[in-house]
Chain A
Amino acid sequence: MNPSKSDHERAVDPVALEQRAASFCTRSLKKETKAQGLRLVVAMTDLTTLEGSDSPEKVRSLCRKALCPDPSIPNLPQVAAVCVYPKWVGLAKECVGDSGVRVASVASAFPSGQVALETKLADVREAVAQGADEIDMVLQRGAFLSGNHQEVEDEIHAIKEACESAHLKVILETGELGSMDAIARASHLAMNAGADFIKTSTGKIQPAATMPVTLLMLEAIRSHYLAGGGMIGMKPAGGIRAAKEALHYLVMVKETLGNAWMTPEWFRFGASSLLNDVLRQLQRLESGRYAAQYDVTET
């Protein structure tokens, strides 16, 4: 049985969605609650570098930051994972060791996904062989938008198999899907095809993660769960740069999916610059003073 068929065929009301998403931005989190929220954001971060200019030292310093985001803040958790290109998985794995920080790799011809399935599978197998704990694949938007849903689904199935025990995150690239209806349909398609996580964006296309889009995907996860499809994780990525914004996302997750999803196991932020803003806010809470840009490391 297709657990959420009826739901994903329903049209999305974008106005209500935006209004609901905006309502999460009016909550005020202060002091201890804020500090707790910010620590959770750190623990949920997939610290990411996906640049053509990535070098061994860039990956090493990213991993060092993942293991110890800021030595000046007591009891700060590690981030959830580092996210790199397949080429750097081995090195990242070596750097994080058995610390508990996971290594995620984008694979399947990120970010466009425009190569033959065999090449994508080889890409994924290579990353898994190097020790990737999580694979971030891109949805084939061209096929999806032309209506070849079966082809897209089969591809996710095949990649899921190639992942073996690694978790599979499916990147919808919502900025290219065109409408909220298409995003809802793509979310259900990915979940039904075997995704462990659904993820908004590659970060290479604007708009990337926005609150309404994330809310829509969270609601898709909820209806999938209520229809007996089990828990699916969510990862908004790209464009979340401010600590305050991240806290709004947490409120949204809590009020849409509940406490069960409020762990790094089920919710992640894909980000690079967000972490520094969170650290600066935590420093401010610790010291009572606004931090300078040079108070946090670059990577």
Chain B
Amino acid sequence: MTSSTPERLSVLKTYKLYLGGAYPRTESGRTMPIHDAKDNLVAHFCLASRKDFRNAVGAARKAQDSWASRTNYLRGQILYRMAEMLEGRTDEFRQALVVGGHTARQAQQELEAAVDRLVAFAGWADKYSQILGCHNPVAAPYYNFSVPEPSGVCVAVAPDEAPLLGLVSLLAPLLCVGNAVVALGSQKAPLATALFGEVCGVSDVPAGVLNLLTGDRAELLPEFSAHRDVDAILTANLRPAERRILDLGTADNMKRVHHEKWGKGAIMDTGLMHGPDRLLPLIEIKTIWHPVGR
């Protein structure tokens, strides 16, 4: 062995998508390299295509009914389990966030906040219907109830900043109310999204309830808005041009689009981010009239 040959070659990971409970490569076969701040190659990640998105929506549609019909309490437990598994993998996530440009301190803060966010919405799972639903007074011999129901299959488009916390902040409320989710992670720092898929795989999340894509936002946004089997889209901190793509595309099929705008520091503000008002755009309110019995 010559002196220039290393003792051992390190194995570079290719992070895959998380679709229907499995970890497939993108059907397009495209990957992109991720480099750290010193320009060392860290890993490759998948560049999801239109067809990966279509498959993800198919998986989500299949899973959504049974996810919504589980008890709210169980959904809360599963969200809590995600928090537990995330907490158990702090080292890996801290490294991933540092590769994405965070300092070690920022990474630690973001990680802790992400765990707390999952726990917060785990807690809301069996409480939000008491807060958002109600018994309406009507001037007739009827009971009149309004109860929250999930929107259905939702797409989440995570912001570029806060690659882990941004994603979790969108997923947690969506899953809490019984939606099935297809999420596109941060484009600038996709490593956290890919790693989060591995957390979900061991968190009792039923296959298809959560699907994670990494890829090019400009390529996928028009597909998100055009797919007729998507019921709602939730985004955060998109640029106006990107929001416009979604708004125009969804005008044809009338799906609900909700853009959240988080100002500087807002993402760490638990008062803003943990409230049940964030669940409102993600549900449909069903109102039931029931005759008063004699």
- Rounded to whole angstroms, the CA-CA distance of A292 and B254 in the bound complex is 13
Q: How far is the CB of B228 from chain A (nearest CB, A)?
A: 4
Q: Which A257-299 residues sit within 8 Å CB-CB of chain B? A: 288-293, 295
Q: How far is the CA of A288 from the CA of B57 in the complex (A)?
A: 16
Q: Which chain A residues border B54 with CB–CB below 8 Å?
A: 290
Contacting pair B61 A290 (CB below 8 A): no
Q: Is B229 at the interface (CB under 8 A from chain A)?
A: yes
Q: Is B226's beta carbon under 8 Å from chain A? A: yes
Query: What's the least CB distance linking B42 to chain A, in Å?
Result: 34
Residues on A with C-beta less than 8 A from B227 are 289-290
Chain A residues whose C-beta falls within 8 Å of the C-beta of B57 in the assembled complex: 290
Q: How far is it, in angstroms, between the C-alpha of A289 and the C-alpha of B228 when the chains are bound?
A: 7
**Interface class of chain A by DSSP:** loop
Q: Which of B61, B228, B253 has the most CB of A within 10 A?
A: B228
C-alpha spacing A45/B223, complex, angstroms: 31
Whole-angstrom distance from the CB of B284 to the nearest CB of chain A? 15
Q: Which of chain A's residues has its CB closest to B225's CB?
A: A289
Most B CB within 10 A of own CB, among A288, A292, A295: A292
Which B residues from 246 to 274 make CB contacts under 8 A with A? 252-253
Distance of B206 from chain A, by nearest CB (Å):
19
| Residues of A close to B253: CB separation below 8 A | 289, 292
Least distance between A294 CB and chain B CB atoms (Å): 8
Expressed in whole angstroms, the Cα–Cα distance for A289 and B255 within the complex equals: 14
A291 partner residues in chain B, CB cutoff 8 A: 228-229
Minimum CB distance partner of B231 in chain A: A292
Give A295 to B253 CA distance when docked, in angstroms: 11
Q: For B228, what are the chain A residues with a Cβ–Cβ distance below 8 Å?
A: 289-292, 295
Would A289 and B226 count as touching, CB distance under 8 A?
yes
- Residues of chain B within 8 A (CB-CB) of A290 are 54, 57, 226-229
Residues in B35-64 with C-beta less than 8 Å from chain A? 54, 57, 61
Shortest Cβ distance from residue A183 to the other chain B in the assembled complex, whole angstroms: 32
Question: Cβ of A292 and Cβ of B226 under 8 Å apart?
Answer: no
**What is the CB-to-nearest-CB distance from B240 to chain A, in angstroms, rounded to a whole number?**
24
- How far apart are B236's CB and chain A's nearest CB, in angstroms? 24
Contact of A288 (CB < 8 Å), options: B61, B226, B229? B226
Q: How far is the CB of A296 from chain B (nearest CB, A)?
A: 11
| Alpha-carbon gap, A295 to B228, bound state (A) | 8
Q: List A120-153 residues whose CB lies under 8 Å from chain B.
A: none
Chosen A-B contacts, 7 in total, with CB atoms closer than 8 Å, are A289-B226, A289-B228, A290-B54, A290-B226, A291-B229, A292-B228, A292-B229
Please list the residues of chain B having a beta carbon within 8 angstroms of any beta carbon in chain A: 54, 57, 61, 226-229, 252-253
The 6 closest A-B pairs by CB, nearest first: A292-B228, A292-B229, A289-B226, A290-B227, A291-B228, A290-B54
